[in-house]
Chains A and B, each alone.
Chain A
Amino acid sequence: MSAAATLDAAKIGPHARVPVLDVRDLSVEFRTRSGLVRALEQVSLAVHRGECVGVVGESGSGKSVTAYAVMRLLDAAGRVTAGDVRFSGIDLLAASDADIADLRGREMSMIFQNPRAALNPIRPVGRQIADVLIRHGGVTRDQAPDRAVQLLAEVGIPDPRRRAHAYPFELSGGMCQRIGIALALACRPALLIADEPTTGLDVTTQAVIMDLVTTLARERGMATVLITHDLGLATEYCDRIVVMHAGHVVESAPTAEIFATPRHPYTAKLIAATPRPGVPLSGLVSIPGNLPDLRATNLAPCRFLARCDRAHADCAVPPLLRQEEEGRMVACRHPL
C-alpha cells in the first residue's frame, strides 16, 4: 500500500486522535572529520491537527536538525540512530524514498530559513511554484502557471502576474519569504514546519509573515511547528512550546504555563533573557557559558550542567531524568 493510501486511511480511521506528527526518542549523529557529533538525543515532540508548537532554543541546539530528520532531508553525514517518527501513523523513518518524496510538499511541507537561498536563483519564482504543483497538485502543465499566480496572490504579493516572472534576486527578502510560504502551502499540507521563517526580516515584515502563516494554518487546520530562537515570537503564536538545548528537549509545556512557571533552569534563563513588556532592556539577563562540544565522548547526561547555577552532585549521574506530568515534561533532576 502506498504512503498516500495509508495516509487517507489514517485520516478517516479510528486513529483520528493520533497526533499529525509524533516524534519519539529521536537521536541523530553526524560523522564529521573531527569526530562523531551527537546532534540529537532522545528528542520527543508531538503536534496535533490545528495546533502550533514552537521549538525554541539558541543556535546549534538542534532545532533545524530535528526538522530535517523529520523531513528526511539530513545531509549524507547525518544518521538517525534511534527513535521513531510518525506522520499521521506513517513510519517516516521506514518509508521508502519514493513514498517520502510523495509526502514532501504535499502532505508535509517546510518553510526554510534564509528565504532567498532556499529558492533556485536562476528560475522564475512562478515556475518554481508550478514545478511543485505539477509534481503533486494534480494540475496540468497549462493550468500550473495560473494556479501559481493565484497562490502568489494568496500570500499577499502585489501584482502577482508580473512577479511570477521575477527571479529571486529581483525580490526583497520579505517577498522571497512569501514565495517560500506559497511553495510550502501550495498543496495544502497537513503539517507545516516553519524553520526560522522570519530571520533576517525587519520587525514589521516579521509580524506580517507570521500573521500570514498562522492565519493560513488556522484556516486549513494545519499542524504547525514553528522553529525559532525568539521565545517572544513563539509565545505570541504557539499553543505549546518545546525548549531545546544542545540536542536535548529540556522542557515542553503549554505556552501560558511555561511562561508562568518555568521548571527547567534553562527555560527560566531564556525567559529572563527575552525582551517583554514592562521590563527595561537593562533588566535582561544573558545566559552564561556556551553550548557544550557535542563531539566530546564524556558528555554529562544533562548537557546544561556546565552552565547551570543549580547543579547538584547527582546531576552528573546518568541517566538524564525526564519527569512528565499533566502534559508537561522537564528534563531535570532538580526542577524549579
Chain B
Amino acid sequence: MLGVTVRRLAAALPTLVGVVIVTFLLTRALPGDPAAYFAGPAATQQAIAEIRAKLGLDQPLPVQFLDYVQDLLRGDLGLSITTGQPVLHELTTRLPASAELTLLGLLFAGSVGITLGVLAALKQNSWLDNLCRVVATLGVSLPTFFTGLLLIYVFYYLLGWAPAPLGRLDAFASPPPHVTGFYLIDSLLAGDLETFRSALAQIVLPAITLGIFAVAPIARITRGSMLAVMGSDFIRAARGHGLSGRTVVVAYALRNALLPVVTTLGMVFSFLLGANVLVEKVFAWPGIGSYAVEALIASDYAPVQGFVMTMGVLYVLLNLMIDLLYQVIDPRVRLEA
C-alpha cells in the first residue's frame, strides 16, 4: 500500500509541473493590466510604469516564470495585490471552509445517489425508479447557482427554516478553536454543541446545493452497475445457495457494483471543486472559490495561480485516494499494482 502511494505520487509530479506552466501562461494571457488596475483610475502613465517595475511585470516572460518557480520552490505563492496578504496564508485559512463544504456535499450526493440507485435497480420500473430518473434529469439540468437561490428562497425567505446565507456561522457565534479548520469537527472536539448547531445550520443549504448536482451521475451509475451485477452468475449462485436477500444485495451485489461508482465519485468530486466557486458566491461562503473569483476580476495574478495550484494538488491527492480505495474494494487491482 505504501509503495503504491509513493509511486502514484511520483507519477503525479509531471501533472503538477504542467499545472504550474499552464496557470502561469494563462494568467499572463488574460486581458487586463494588473499594474493599471492596482494604480487606480487616476494614476499617470509614469506611476503605472513604476508599479509594473515593482511587480516585476516589465521583465520578459521567461524571467518572470523563473522568478515564479523559484518563489514556488520556497513555498512562497506571492502576495495578493488587492489584500496585501501572502496568498499561501489566505489559501490555507480559507481552504478548510471549501473542503468542509465540498466533502459534506459529496457525502450528501453519495448517500442519496447510491441509495436511490440501489433502490431503483432493485425495483426496476417502479415509481422509485422513475423518481430516480426525474431527480437525475433535474439535478443535471439545473445550474448550481439557480438551485442555491431556489433553496434560499424556499427555506430561508418563505419557510424561515434556514438561517441567512451569510457564511459559516451566524453573526453572534464565534468560531471554535482551530484544530482541523472544519467547524463541524472542531466544535464537537471542543464539546461546543451550540456552535456545532450553528455551523450545521449554515452549511446544510450550500452543501445540498452542491450535492444535488452530483446526485444524478452517482444514482445513474449505481443503478446501471447494480442492475448488471444483479444479473450476473454469481448473484444467481448466491441466491441458489440460500443466502438471505440482505446478504446477497449488500455483501455480494453492492460491493461489486461500487467499483464503477467509486470512479464516478472521483470525477464528481473534481466537478464539485469547480462548482464550489459559484455556490460560495451565492452563500457568501469564505472559501477559496470566492477568493479566486475576486482575484480574477481584479487581475490579481498570484491568488489565481495559487488557487489553480491548490486545485491541481487536491485533484492529484483525490485520484490517489480513489486508487487506494479501489485496492481496498477490489483484490484484483492489488495484484496489478
Contacts and interface: CB of A to CB of B under 8 A. Distances in A.
A225 B233 CA distance: 20
Contact of B330 (A114, A122, A131): A122
A186 B244 CA distance: 16
Contacts of A180: 237
Interface in B16-55: none
A122 B232 CA distance: 14
A112 B240 contact: yes
Nearest to B241: A105
A105 B243 contact: yes
Interface stretch (B169-177, B251-259, B285-293): B251-259
A127 B144 CA distance: 45
A289 to B, nearest CB: 30
A16 B204 CA distance: 67
Interface in B201-255: 231-234, 236-245, 247, 251-252, 255
A71 interface: yes
Contacts of A131: 241, 243, 247, 251
A121 interface: yes
A120 B331 CA distance: 12
A114 B238 contact: no
A83 B102 CA distance: 58
Contact of B239 (A73, A183, A184): A73
B332 A167 contact: yes
Given A114-B233, A169-B332, A120 B238 contact: yes
Contacts of A104: 239-242
B332 A122 contact: yes
A109 B241 CA distance: 7
Nearest to A68: B236
A123 B252 contact: yes
Give the size category of B's interface with A: 20 to 34
Given A101-B242, A105-B242, A132-B241, A122 B255 contact: yes
Specify the main secondary structure of chain B where it touches its partner. Answer: helix
A316 interface: no
A299 interface: no
* Most chain B CB neighbours (cut-off 10 Å) among A106, A114, A121, A186: A121
Contact of A112 (B237, B242, B245, B251): B237
A118 interface: yes
B329 interface: yes
A155 to B, nearest CB: 15
Contacts of B238: 120
Contacts of A135: 241-244, 247
Contact of B234 (A102, A119, A184): A119
A164 B1 CA distance: 22
Interface string A172-190: 0000000010011010000
A120 B252 contact: yes
A110 B240 contact: yes
A310 B9 CA distance: 74
Nearest to A112: B237
Nearest to B259: A122
A144 B256 CA distance: 23
Nearest to A102: B242
A119 B237 contact: yes
A118 B335 CA distance: 21
Contacts of B251: 123, 131
A103 interface: yes
Nearest to B252: A120
Contacts of A306: none
A132 B127 CA distance: 34
A117 B330 contact: no
A236 to B, nearest CB: 26
Contacts of B234: 117-121
B241 A184 contact: yes
A76 B40 CA distance: 73
Interface string B324-337: 00000111100100
B225 to A, nearest CB: 13
* Most chain A CB neighbours (cut-off 10 Å) among B232, B236, B240, B256: B240
Contacts of B247: 131, 135
Given A121-B234, A184-B241, A186-B241, 14 more contacts: A71-B240, A73-B240, A101-B242, A112-B233, A114-B233, A117-B233, A117-B234, A118-B237, A121-B332, A123-B251, A123-B252, A132-B243, A135-B242, A136-B242
Interface of B: 231-234, 236-245, 247, 251-252, 255-256, 329-332, 335
Closest 5 CB pairs of A and B: A105-B242, A104-B242, A105-B241, A118-B237, A117-B233
